[in-house]
Copies of this chain bind each other. A is one copy, B any other.
Amino acid sequence: MNEHSLSPPPTGTRAQLVDAAERVLRAKGLARATTKEIAREAGYAEGTLYLHFADKLDLVRAVHEKLLPAFVEVVRHLPERAGTGSVQGNLTELAHGALRLYRDLTPLGSSLFADPELLRRFRALLAERGGGPHRAWEPVVAYLEAEQALGRVAPEADPAAATLLLLGACQQLVFVELMSGPETLPFHDRPDPAAELVATLLAGLSPGPNEMEPRP
């Protein structure tokens, strides 16, 4: 499974079915997405589905498989940006991308928990690919380590912990937004939640020695 042949031959049928399944899953939810509707959405007969997938869960798994790369895409070029722009700017941009990503993927991804068998298959897919959501962390960690080497991030900072803090905050913001409604968020009236998260992460909570002194 190298990078040249990730997608099956140009026989579009399989891909059309996966795309249709994704649309239906987004619209109706896992519990209410039927093979009949997916097939109709794709413009094929219901039986055709079983020429390309072992069963319905296999098709759903294929949808998630298709979405996997999007996860890494957001952070892909981050390490290269070490030393360019400002750390704050780079992380804010990352946070923006993460928010977009989580808004897009949370409904589909969280649905996996509704069906243990589906979750099992998804885990098997991740294992075989050596993938997983944590793969998104690595480039961020690498970026922060590079910035540390450049002196733009404190040498004592823990890049892995910092990554989890930032991405986790983005994910939770979206999770709560989707679950309770956007109007319930403390941040819903702030122009740029991502920027505030980054600012706080950079500054830390501890009162700095300098700051104990009164400012002019």
A residues contacting B by CB (< 8 A) are: 28-32, 87, 106-119, 122-123, 126-127, 132-134, 137, 141, 144, 151-158, 160-162, 164-173, 175-176, 178-181, 184-187, 193, 196-197, 199-211, 213
In the complex, the answer to whether A132 meets B205 with C-beta atoms within 8 Å is no
Q: Bound complex: CA of A168 vs CA of B133, how far in Å?
A: 15
- Judged by DSSP, the binding face of A is helix
With A165-B166, A168-B173, A186-B141 as contacts: A132 and B201 at CB distance below 8 Å: no
Q: Which residue of B lies closest to A28 (CB)?
A: B116
In the complex, the answer to whether A176 meets B132 with C-beta atoms within 8 Å is yes
Q: Which residue of B lies closest to A131 (CB)?
A: B180
In the complex, the answer to whether A175 meets B206 with C-beta atoms within 8 Å is no
With A110-B113, A161-B196 as contacts: A179 and B30 at CB distance below 8 Å: no
With A205-B157, A206-B202 as contacts: A116 and B165 at CB distance below 8 Å: no
A30 contacts which of B31, B126, B178 (Cβ < 8 Å)? B31
Q: Bound complex: CA of A208 vs CA of B214, how far in Å?
A: 14
**Extra inter-chain contacts (20) besides given A110-B114, A160-B186, A171-B172, CB under 8 Å:** A29-B116, A31-B31, A31-B114, A31-B115, A122-B179, A132-B184, A133-B179, A144-B205, A155-B207, A155-B211, A156-B211, A157-B200, A158-B200, A160-B196, A165-B168, A168-B169, A169-B169, A172-B172, A208-B209, A209-B209
